[in-house]
Amino acid sequence: MMEKLIHAFYPLTLALFAVGVTGAFAAPRVEQNLDFDWRFIQQDVAGAEQPDFADAQWRLLDVPHDWSIEGTYSTNHPGTDALVSYLPTGIGWYRKVIDAPADWAGRRVEIQFDGVFRNCTVWLNGQKVGGDLYGCRS
């Protein structure tokens, strides 16, 4: 069995997460819910995008998760405005190991984040594969 490691860097909110796998000839779509058993730390950590990074001491949680609402409200927080509602801002890392079965080879695999808020970067096996600067699209 091949392993894929998902590393995600999110400042505020990560919501639902799913992987879709489809084949080249209209094979049925397969969805896997990956909301459970993420590792999290509320700080910037050098090297956390690497597959062999040691995150065992990080908090274990399920998503959706919003670390900002665990903080205290204050008008003194950096970036305080209507968008963050006087909650703390900063950097948080979410990491998850995903077992990729052999039958995924040669198939299209999509990773869908249904709710990530502001300035996220997504890493897969140490390679940057995507990201977004905004939490809402019009």
pLDDT tens, 79-117?
655 565 777 778 899 999 988 889 888 888 888 877 777
Residue 76 lies in a domain: yes
Domain with 79 in it: 2-132
Closest CA to 92 of 117, 128, 109, 126: 117
Percent of the chain exceeding pLDDT 90 equals 27
Q: How many domains does the chain have?
A: 1
Its pTM surpasses 0.85: no
**Residue 28 above 60 pLDDT?**
yes
Q: Which of 69, 17, 16 is nearest to 42 (CA)?
A: 69
**CATH code for the domain in which residue 81 is found:** 2.60.120.260
β-sheet with 65-66: strand ranges across: 65-66, 13-14, 116-117
Specify if 138 maps to a domain: no
For residue 93, give both structure tokens: 């890392």
> Can you tell me the mean pLDDT for 5-27?
45
In a domain, 74, yes or no: yes
Residue 23 has pLDDT above 90, yes or no: no
Q: Is residue 94 part of a domain?
A: yes
Q: What is the DSSP letter of 67?
A: G
Please check whether residue 137 lies inside any domain of the structure: no
Q: What is the mean pLDDT of residues 16-27?
A: 50
Q: Does the residue 47 lie in any domain?
A: yes
Residue 16: the pLDDT is 37
